[in-house]
Amino acid sequence: MRPPRRRFLQTAAAAVAAPLLPSAARGETWPARPIHLVVAVAPGGGADIVARLIGQWLSERLGQSVIVENRPGAGNNVGTEYVVRAPPDGYTLLSVAVAAAINATLFDNLSFNFLRDVAPVAGTLTVPNVVYVNPRVPARTLPEFIAFAKARPGKINMASAGAGTSSHMAGELFKMMAGVDLVHVPYRGQGPAMTDLLGGHVEAMFATTPGTTGYIATGALRALAVTTATRAESLPDIPAIAEFLPGYEASQWYGVGAPRGTPPEILDRLNREINAIITDPKNKARLADLGGAALTGSVADFGRLLAGETEKWAKVVKFSGAKPD
């Protein structure tokens, strides 16, 4: 006896649709094989260090290897595009940083739209930039530095790790809100910029905390303020810029994204695991060693952060007239 026509059509439709479904939806328990976490910068920087820590801890929780894969180039865009074009099956993830929000306006002809094409997963870490000045600068507080700069428009040099980087944009936001005219001097990375700041060839820099706070203790550099909305846990004696310029905030932050279309159950699982990782006391202490604090929240919370940061930095990029190197 032949099956009823309706059952026949349902069976046929299911057979056609099955190959189109993600492997997780076909019954495969995710993760069933190694996961690749793409870092869009070269090894050794802050984003790479954070990604390797998160990858190691995530491997332990998921029971599968998380392979960190560096794909640098074009100001983070090479690695981002690679992930955007990857299958949305939970096996290719992106280490996300503030550069993604800046690049949305900094670059005119990107082949992708970050907010549209990258699904938010979770935040991992926020790290303050620090306003450093060479000790030859007489200002000992941020208000004194603002007054010093206003008395010398266009004569104070502000180094950065490169045009459009977080250190550059943090400085441009400061210029915009404080009404000062600092001359931007871009370098190819934070290392060369710090070398010239230490040597007195430039007067100021907004630099990330990993690898720089030791200069405070030795007196090689003077720290005037941090760029987080409130004082940083790792540098409690240094005021926040917002104490003098209300509303100022320019944190370096890190997180994880995935290709658009990745199943929600995978995004939610990753979010739960990452939040558990960064709130574990042992791991929190390790993140604190990097000068940062855990960035917790839901998938939706991280999505709102990405949208808000993209809108904020669009205004700063346009104000500064910045162009990619």
The CATH number for 96's domain is 3.40.190.150
Q: What is the pTM of this model?
A: 0.85
Give me the CATH number covering residue 204.
Answer: 3.40.190.10
Let me know if 247 is exposed, middle or buried by CB neighbors in 10 A (0-12, 13-18, 19+).
exposed
* Residues 179, 166: Cα–Cα separation, whole Å: 19
Q: Which residue bears the tokens 């870092």?
A: 39
- Judge whether 203 lies within some domain: yes
Residues 49 and 133 in one domain: no
Secondary structure letter of residue 74 according to DSSP: G
Domain boundary among 223, 243, 263: 243
Task: Read off the tokens for 9.
Answer: 């059509």
Q: Are residues 113 and 256 located together in one domain of the fold?
A: yes
Residue with tokens 């700063």: 316
* DSSP states of 11-42: HHHHHHHGGGS-GGGGT--S-SS-EEEEESS-
Contact 50, 209 (CB under 8 A): no
Same domain, 166 and 225: yes
CA dist 205 and 23 (Å) reads 48
Asked, for residue 11, whether it belongs to a domain, the answer is no
Same domain assignment for residues 235 and 276: no
For residue 261 the two structure tokens come to 């279309």
Mode of pairing for the β-strands spanning 92-97 and 252-259: antiparallel
Helices (runs of H) and strands (runs of E) counted in the chain: 12, 11
Task: Provide the token pair at 235.
Answer: 């540098």
Domain count, the chain: 2
CB contact at 8 A, 192 and 165: no
**Co-location of 51 and 67 in the same domain:** yes
Q: How many residues does the chain have?
A: 325
Cα 32 to the center of its chain, rounded Å: 28
- Long-range contacts at 214-223 (CB < 8 A, ≥ 24 apart): 215/132, 219/135, 220/135, 221/132, 221/133, 221/134, 221/135, 221/197, 222/132, 222/133, 222/134, 222/135, 222/137, 222/140, 223/130, 223/131, 223/132
Q: Which domain holds residue 312?
A: 34-127+251-320
Tokens describing residue 198: 């230490």
**Is residue 185 one of the residues assigned to a domain?**
yes
Judge whether 138 and 148 are in contact, CB under 8 Å. yes
Q: What is the pLDDT along the chain (325 residues), one digit of tens a residue?
A: 444 444 433 444 444 444 444 444 444 699 999 999 999 988 887 889 899 999 999 999 999 999 999 999 988 999 999 999 999 999 999 999 999 999 999 999 999 999 999 999 999 999 999 999 999 999 999 999 999 999 999 999 999 989 999 999 999 999 999 999 999 999 988 889 999 999 999 999 999 887 788 899 999 999 999 999 999 988 999 999 999 999 999 999 999 999 999 999 999 999 999 999 999 999 999 998 888 899 999 999 999 999 999 999 999 999 999 998 7
Pair (208, 278) in one structural domain: no
